[in-house]
Amino acid sequence: MESPEHKHLKSVAVLWLLNRGCFLADTEVPLSQVGLRRYIELDNKTVADAVGVGLRFNAGNGKDEPVDDFDPASLTGAEAGECVLRGVEVKVTRGDFRAGFACSGCNYHYLLTPLRLLAPSEVPRGVGLIEYNKHKWGCEPEDTHPDRPYRITGLRLLKHPTYRELPRFQVDGVIAHLTNRTLQQTRQIFLQDASLIHVKNSQ
């Protein structure tokens, strides 16, 4: 059984991903492991708690170096590069952390934990760490910053992840999966609307 805290933090992870430039994001996303070696012993899951699809930019002025910073101001003059996957695994207890998590199916992987659950030095090499402070948590629509839809407080990125190269079919597979989910949800909304229209017209 999933705890209320774990479920809440998965939603927090999706909001964080959307606020960091991802144009697709959802929870419980299956990741392809075809052709991938296990990153570490803890890398034993194939479904990530949250995954977002965003762009990895290339620096402008004829340079090809990637720009991994999320700050839109730092992307001035940068050119849109390839789509990348950012996966977030939620851990609410140390036992949950020791049970393992997915950390090889995305280009960037993060752990999202409550305040002071893990030290950055405990997090595997290459994996980022986001800390959640329930006493400061807040999320409101952002009207003044066009590049970020939410004004979020109570989250802190303590450790940056490192980029991991993936075969394109693995990235494309996640994009197709998330897009199909969105289409299914859209179909349901239109079907409900159409049913209501039919009922209203038949009265």
* Residue-wise pLDDT tens digits, 150-185: 999 999 999 999 998 999 999 999 999 999 998 888
Cβ within 8 Å of residue 28, ≥6 positions away: 10, 47, 48, 49
Interval 16-31 mean pLDDT: 93
As a whole number, the mean pLDDT across the chain is 85
pLDDT(79) > 70: no
Which tokens in the block code for residue 106?
């995305």
Please tell me the distance from the alpha carbon of residue 172 to that of residue 18, in angstroms, as a whole number: 19
Please tell me the distance from the alpha carbon of residue 9 to that of residue 130, in angstroms, as a whole number: 11
Single out the residue of 14, 48, 53, 23 nearest to residue 33, CA to CA: 48
pLDDT tens per residue across span 46-77: 899 999 999 887 665 554 445 555 555 555 55
Tally of domains within the chain = 1
pLDDT(10) > 70: yes
Please tell me the distance from the alpha carbon of residue 136 to that of residue 21, in angstroms, as a whole number: 23
Please tell me the distance from the alpha carbon of residue 81 to that of residue 1, in angstroms, as a whole number: 40
Given a contact cutoff of 8 angstroms between Cβ atoms, the answer to whether 106 and 117 are in contact is no
Structural domain boundaries enclosing 100: 4-202
Backbone φ and ψ of 55, nearest 5°: -110, 145
The per-type count for the chain, helices as H runs and strands as E runs, is 3, 9
Band (102; pLDDT cuts 50, 70, 90): confident
Single out the residue of 60, 51, 55 nearest to residue 78, CA to CA: 60
Please tell me the distance from the alpha carbon of residue 158 to that of residue 21, in angstroms, as a whole number: 19
The helix/strand/coil state of 50 is strand
